[in-house]
Structure 1
Amino acid sequence: MALLVQKFGGTSVGDIERIEAVAERVIKARQQGHQVVVVVSAMAGETNRLLGLAKQVDDVPNQRELDVLLSTGEQVTIALLAMALNKRGFRATSMTADQVTIRTDNAFNNASIIQVDTENLTSLLNAGHIVVVAGFQGRDSGNNITTLGRGGSDTTAVAIASALGADECQIFTDVDGVYTTDPRLVTAARRLSTIHFDDMTAMARFGAKVLQLQSVEYAQSHQVPLRVLSSFEDGDGTLVDFSVSQPCAAVGVAVMSQQLLVRVAAPFNEVAERLTLLGFEAWCYAEESDATLVVVANDDLARLKWGLSSPTVTVAGVSTLSLVGEHVHQLQGSLHAALAECGLTIYQQKQSARCLSILIDSADQQLAVDHLHKTFVVDAESLDNQTFLAVS
């Protein structure tokens, strides 16, 4: 018998029919003899609806009160799912984060989990209950409700799995695993049966949305095995752990779109320092001695302009493409050669752990991701001599 923590996102619990389907999936695990804790998000669209209500009252809502409001979405879902499980004859108890006692810091709207108390969870599990927990929320030392930021239910699930010493944390979503690149962009993308935590962290940081970055980092630091599974079909999904050995340099291609390249009329050091103070982890680089180029998400442009005192000008729409893998730095020359074949221009390039990233014009995104995926992932897997991949 294993102890499983299963997390279902907003799409998976988007309506009553899907909540009923989640109940059946949870029951299947329970019938196999496993203890199960279920973590759920608000129903699809509910958090945005609540945020819209708040902005009808105040364009910049009080952060504390916004967390009180946004946390209600998950409370609806846990009650409905517990009802569906009880109706089927399986004892289930819903719990808010406060009832579990999930303690966070006091960073409203983007809190971090400090501790999960396990006494209440363990008591219910030992009594044979399925425990259904509200994701995305916690409580700080001042007894205030907090929320964990976008995608925070993943982090709730991982934190509970860590605290309980669960055998596996299973993240159920609308795709059946982690792919070599976004399958919506590249039809040849394939599902990975396993992926190393370091590679998954890089994929999440640079655009893969299947797992939220904070949750992957938490799972990695607390040694929690993760598995990504489909809510809508059976399968083994993708296991994220530390024992994976990849056959070629590039595991996949991560894509970040909907970005802008912005010129700031200020020296690089000044802009970089200001971005740090604002909490931006933006890619920026010097264009001239008195000008800096900054890559920012479309949705963050207004906040960027508000936070910088220097004049800004939008240069272009851009995308970031990142080759991810343990040995991708060997591919730098080959990467430039591959893009030159397509006639594509690289604005800028940077390296980080297990990642080689390029900045290109957004109009070239589809051509570039198709070509990079085929060259460094699909074709590379058919080659026996890995060293050849590094030759341009």
Structure 2
Amino acid sequence: MNVSVLKFGGSSFLNPDDYGRVGRHIADRLAAGENKVVAVVSAMSGTTGNLKAVMLDVNKEASPSNLDAALAIGEMFSACLLEAAVSRLGIPVTSLNGYCLGIRTNSDFGRASVEGVDPRPLSAALQEHDVVIATGGQAIDQSGRLTMLGRNSSDLTAIVIASILGEHVCEIYSDLPGVYTADPYLVPAAQLIPEIAYGTIAQMSRHGAKVLHHRAVDYAGRHAVAIVCKSLTSDGTVTGTLVTAHGNAGSVTVARDAAVISCASLAARDNLRVLLDQHDISAICIEDNDRAGLCIISDIDFAMRLVALTSTPPVSIGSSTAVTELDDAMLRVHLDGDYERAIALARQIHERMYPGAVAEPFGSRPVKQRSAYSSLLIRGNNAPGNPE
């Protein structure tokens, strides 16, 4: 069965009309001769944060399994909206959520790992429908409880689905057409990378690049699924980066809320690092005033749960902005408590890597947008207010 697997991130859905726009794109693909389409969707931009804030308003100690069940609502609602948009066009369509996708995980709620897949639910849905909408970032554990694969993990769902169906290409749509040498929202001179290797982009992701989820890239590499990064614009589709086994580029990443953990001794730090390594969490060793420490840039919420379970608690836990420069010969992390100063440093490093580079021709420096409709479900007392 020839199936196109497309993933649409939260930035693809800034308002309800965007579901119609994505629906029309899917219809155009079918009209052009493609056989079947699976569209994996994220929650509307900002929804997950609102849902989490409401949960923590009710109970600051809400269990991880309780949080997963609540946060999954965002993707479920998004899938329902896209199903409605596609159905309106007269196309046979259905949607599948984490309970019935056929993806099984362990019970590490908040950041569960894929342990097995069952292709039958997807295959059956595709036999009866031209389009299947799948909720991103969610699955079930062996007890049938809903689990989340981590924040921004819809990429992983899409790659897993492509692998389940035997497809060797997965298209990832976001607000940017591809992978850049830096975040163009922060570094206007960032350059588009036409082709990049799985290992390179996974390392960038682990150090703060948000264009692709690192565990999705790792899974794609293991199962030989090429990733095509795209953007759906008012002028059509823009393709920017192909992720395969080839390609490299120097880059600068910025992670605003990196966790900085100070340990009482080198032994305590080493024990903690072993624990984090066992759960595939990257931790960078740091030395600060003769005190051993670690810096964690990705999967921070899950890492903090692991840290809380250690027999030797850290001396302190703080946050900082981590600026990471990556190239063939070097991985260097700079920590700065001042965010604006960290951005300035990232721009300086990028200028050194790419002297004379200018902004890409797609326009002036882009502005990161958050959906004004993200509180369609609910908004907590501590959730950020909607933009005007």
TM-score tier, shorter chain, comes to 0.7 to 0.9
Counterpart of 1:56? 57
In the alignment, does 2:238 pair up with 1:239? no
Which AA in structure 2 matches 1:86?
A: S
For residues 263 and 55 of structure 1, do their structure 2 counterparts lie closer, same or farther at Cα, with a shift above 3 Å needed?
closer
Please show how residues 146-225 of structure 1 align to structure 2 within 5 Å. 146-225=147-226
Confirm or deny: 8 A CA contact 1:90 1:129 kept in the other structure: yes
Q: Secondary structure at the match of 1:270?
A: helix
User: Residues 207-252 of structure 1, C-alpha deviation per residue, up to 9 Å, x if partnerless?
Assistant: 11111111111111111110111133521221101143x5xxx432
Counterpart of 2:332? 357
Give unmatched runs, 5+ long, in structure 2: 358-388
For residues 144 and 318 of structure 1, do their structure 2 counterparts lie closer, same or farther at Cα, with a shift above 3 Å needed?
closer
Q: Secondary structure at the match of 1:158?
A: helix
- CA–CA distance in 2 between the matches of 1:181 and 1:231? 21
Q: Secondary structure at the match of 1:165?
A: coil
Counterpart of 1:17? 17
RMSD of aligned Cα (Å): 2.9
Counterpart of 1:338? none
- CA–CA distance in 1 between the matches of 2:262 and 2:69? 38
Q: Secondary structure at the match of 2:100?
A: helix
For residues 85 and 372 of structure 1, do their structure 2 counterparts lie closer, same or farther at Cα, with a shift above 3 Å needed?
same
Deviates more, 1:172-181 or 1:97-106: 97-106
In the alignment, does 2:315 pair up with 1:311? yes
How far did residue 151 of structure 1 move? 1.3
- The structure showing larger relative contact order (alpha-carbon pairs under 8 Å, at least 6 residues apart) is 2
How far did residue 288 of structure 1 move? 6.8
Counterpart of 1:339? none
Q: Secondary structure at the match of 2:12?
A: coil
Which AA in structure 2 matches 1:255?
A: V
For residues 2 and 238 of structure 1, do their structure 2 counterparts lie closer, same or farther at Cα, with a shift above 3 Å needed?
farther
Which AA in structure 2 matches 1:118?
A: P
Computing the radius of gyration from Cα coordinates, the structure with the larger value is: 1
- CA–CA distance in 2 between the matches of 1:270 and 1:124? 50
For residues 113 and 376 of structure 1, do their structure 2 counterparts lie closer, same or farther at Cα, with a shift above 3 Å needed?
same
Deviates more, 1:153-162 or 1:128-137: 128-137
For residues 317 and 304 of structure 1, do their structure 2 counterparts lie closer, same or farther at Cα, with a shift above 3 Å needed?
farther
How far did residue 371 of structure 1 move? 2.8
Confirm or deny: 8 A CA contact 1:46 1:73 kept in the other structure: yes
Out of 356, 364, 369, the position equivalent to 2:346 is 369
Which AA in structure 2 matches 1:268?
A: L
In the superposition, the TM-score normalised over structure 1's length comes to 0.79
For residues 115 and 50 of structure 1, do their structure 2 counterparts lie closer, same or farther at Cα, with a shift above 3 Å needed?
same
For residues 378 and 219 of structure 1, do their structure 2 counterparts lie closer, same or farther at Cα, with a shift above 3 Å needed?
farther
Confirm or deny: 8 A CA contact 2:269 2:293 kept in the other structure: no
User: Residues 138-166 of structure 1, C-alpha deviation per residue, up to 9 Å, x if partnerless?
Assistant: 11111111111101211111100011112
Q: Which has the higher helix share?
A: 1
Give unmatched runs, 5+ long, in structure 1: 330-350, 381-392
In the superposition, the TM-score normalised over structure 2's length comes to 0.80
Counterpart of 2:256? 257
- CA–CA distance in 1 between the matches of 2:103 and 2:304? 33
Confirm or deny: 8 A CA contact 1:272 1:284 kept in the other structure: no
Deviates more, 1:278-287 or 1:221-230: 278-287
How far did residue 313 of structure 1 move? 8.2
